[in-house]
């Protein structure tokens, strides 16, 4: 019989936490949000209800990574089948390349596409939820109205963001009470968000896209020079898009199809299938070298070809995941040296991730994001709606498939992950944090499924992040021997301060046990936790 917890390798990493084992679990980056999801499970909700409750609570208690104006994606196992949901929004119809002759702005009203997270909550609730939407949003309403005590990592990110965003429309009014950011341990209230959440629940999201809330969003953006219209908001629809997959031994990794970067994780895993990575341990120099080289190759294609699926007319996912193509890409890897494959230089982002599982076997991987921390910095007064800056994900090179245009989805960094084994659910997982996300999916999957580490050990393990060319950032917890070995192969290694833990993401993992129940892990780089009963 297969052991319940595979531990062929059992290294102890700094800041190691213990995994949580239970029949019903939630793992996310903020403890109050995790407990919000758990409370919904205890009220008879299922894993989808818990995911919605957790996601909504995160918009309140972790505003440094997401908000009511975020986008979202989801992969879920309903007990019989796997489903993928793309709830990312499109650009205003009036946008064109002429509007952005100086490049895509990272902040302000011209960085905002239609926010899709609320539509994800509504679609998930209507199709798979057991409880009504107002019930699942109730914990978030409570935290917004009664206030919550700000946690340390979020307080720090809040203060950093305020230096950049204080002058953006509506930001200070909502997020700088008394002219300053709240410190860790202080209580923060967001009454506007409480009322917005109530209205979303009452109207099942209709107000946000076609009613009073949509009117407030559009008017405020128009007052500040934005191009968003009521028609742009009303035309938004999330897509049940299914998943793409790559097999590695007896495990299938599933990702959301483009416009997200999940395909890069699939490509890298498919490339690694043709290397000798299985012959090495999780922290061996060659194992890390092979992963870095595979990621470089995948990211070069990601930034050249991936865009809104409707605009991938020449090179599509079938071409990028073709087994013969990936085998040929693997042949480019030199085990003796690092190679500059000409990858791009991805930007960092701000995201939240959560995973849930219930006693019936339903499992959810859900991710929502503002992109860069508080996103555009634009906050609609009196509503608590902070708006993402996903428009910054467009390109401005004419003819590029990801070139900005009206009514188009930009290339997204946020990706939920899901692993299947023998056609049964194995793990709902992911890693927030901009360009490390696809890289992180590969690192987490290999650690848990090839090297047998439990999910919490895999979350705690030192990480690396490909930057561009042969530049690689590593955490200071990575052994000097490993760093020296990578340098000897030609990788330009930089060690990033623990203060920049955000650059190495935040992993959340929920793994199904062979005899039922789950083992869950939560990243120590965040304030969050895995909880269960």
Catalytic residues: 351
Q: Where are the beta strands (DSSP E) in 269-360?
A: 350-357
Could you give the 3-state DSSP secondary structure of residue 258?
coil
121 Cβ partners below 8 Å, 6+ apart? 52, 55, 56, 72, 133, 136, 137, 200, 205
Rounded to whole angstroms, how far apart are CA atoms 147 and 207?
24
Angstrom distance (rounded) from CA 32 to CA 53: 11
Q: Please state the separation of Cα 232 from the chain's center in Å.
A: 24
Place of tokens 């895995």: 530
HSE-CB for 511 with a 13 A CA cutoff: 29
Residue (of 377, 398, 319, 387) closest to 101 by Cα position = 398
Task: To the nearest 10°, report the CA torsion of 206, 363, 70, 263.
Answer: -120
CA-to-CA separations, 88 to 91, 150, 267, 289, 489, in angstroms, rounded: 10, 28, 22, 34, 40
| Token pair listed for 338 | 């690092």
Distance separating alpha carbons of residues 329 and 323, to the nearest angstrom: 10
State both tokens at 480: 């000097």
What is the phi/psi pair of residue 43, to 5°? -85, 5
Residue partners of 356: CB distance under 8 A and separation at least 6: 25, 26, 27, 37, 41, 47, 48, 50, 51, 54, 363, 364, 366, 428, 510
SS3 at position 77: strand
Pull the structure tokens for residue 245.
């997959």
For 393-407, give the DSSP string.
Answer: G-B-STT-TTB--TT
| CB 412 within 8 Å of CB 393 | yes
Q: What tokens appear for 479 in the block?
A: 């052994």
Considering only CA atoms, which of 502, 507, 531, 506 is closest in space to residue 519? 531
How far from chain centre, in Å, is Cα 310?
22
Beta sheet of 464-468, edge-to-edge order: 464-468, 471-474, 492-495
Torsion of CA 82, 56, 306, 348, to 10 degrees: -130
Strand pairing category for 471-474 and 492-495:
parallel
Please answer whether residues 133 and 125 qualify as being in contact, where contact means their C-beta atoms are separated by less than 8 angstroms.
yes
Q: Which helix (H) or strand (E) holds 426?
A: strand 424-432
């Amino acid at each position: 019989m297969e052991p319940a917890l595979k531990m062929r390798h059992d290294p102890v990493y700094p800041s190691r936490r213990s995994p949580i084992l239970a029949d019903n679990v939630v793992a996310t980056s903020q403890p109050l949000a995790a407990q919000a999801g758990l409370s919904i499970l205890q009220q008879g909700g299922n894993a989808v209800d818990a995911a919605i409750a957790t996601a909504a609570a995160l918009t309140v208690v972790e505003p440094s990574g997401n908000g009511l104006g975020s986008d979202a994606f989801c992969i879920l196992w309903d007990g019989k089948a796997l489903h993928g949901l793309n709830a990312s929004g499109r650009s205003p119809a009036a946008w064109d390349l002429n509007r952005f002759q100086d490049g895509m702005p990272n902040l302000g009203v011209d960085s905002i596409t239609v926010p899709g997270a609320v539509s994800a909550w509504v679609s998930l609730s209507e199709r798979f939820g057991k409880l009504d939407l107002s019930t699942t949003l109730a914990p978030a309403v409570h935290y917004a109205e009664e206030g919550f005590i700000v946690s340390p990592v979020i307080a720090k990110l809040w203060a950093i963001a305020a230096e950049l965003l204080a002058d953006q429309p509506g930001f200070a009014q909502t997020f700088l009470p008394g002219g300053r950011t709240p410190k860790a341990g202080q209580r923060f209230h967001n009454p506007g968000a409480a009322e917005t959440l109530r209205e979303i629940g009452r109207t099942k999201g209709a107000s946000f896209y076609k009613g009073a809330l949509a009117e407030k969003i559009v008017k405020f953006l128009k007052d500040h020079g934005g191009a968003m219209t009521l028609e742009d908001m009303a035309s938004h629809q999330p897509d049940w898009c299914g998943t793409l997959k790559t097999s590695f031994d007896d495990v299938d990794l599933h990702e959301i199809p483009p416009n997200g970067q999940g395909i890069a994780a699939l490509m890298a895993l498919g490339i690694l299938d043709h290397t000798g990575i299985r012959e090495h341990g999780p922290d061996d120099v060659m194992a890390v070298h092979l992963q870095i080289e595979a990621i470089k190759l995948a990211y070069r294609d990601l930034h050249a070809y991936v865009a809104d699926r409707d605009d991938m007319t020449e090179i599509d996912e079938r071409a990028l995941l073709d087994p013969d193509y990936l085998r040929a890409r693997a042949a480019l890897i030199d085990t003796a040296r690092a190679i500059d494959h000409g990858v791009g230089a991805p930007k960092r982002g701000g995201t939240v991730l959560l995973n849930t599982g219930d006693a019936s076997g339903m499992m959810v991987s859900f991710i929502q994001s503002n992109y860069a921390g508080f996103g555009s910095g634009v906050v609609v007064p009196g509503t608590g709606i902070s708006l993402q800056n996903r428009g910054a994900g467009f390109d401005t090179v004419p003819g590029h498939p990801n070139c900005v245009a009206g009514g188009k989805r930009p290339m997204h960094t946020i990706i939920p992950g899901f692993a299947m084994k023998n056609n049964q659910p194995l793990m709902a997982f992911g890693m927030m944090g901009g360009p490390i996300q696809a890289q992180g999916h590969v690192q987490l999957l290999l650690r848990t499924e090839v090297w047998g580490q439990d999910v919490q050990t895999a979350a705690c393990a030192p990480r690396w992040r490909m930057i561009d060319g042969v530049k690689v950032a590593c955490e200071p917890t990575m052994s000097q021997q490993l760093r020296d070995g990578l340098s000897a192969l030609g990788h330009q290694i930089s060690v990033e301060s623990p203060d920049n833990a955000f650059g190495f993401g935040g992993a959340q993992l929920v793994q199904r046990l062979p005899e039922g129940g789950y083992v869950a892990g939560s990243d120590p780089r965040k304030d969050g936790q895995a909880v269960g009963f």
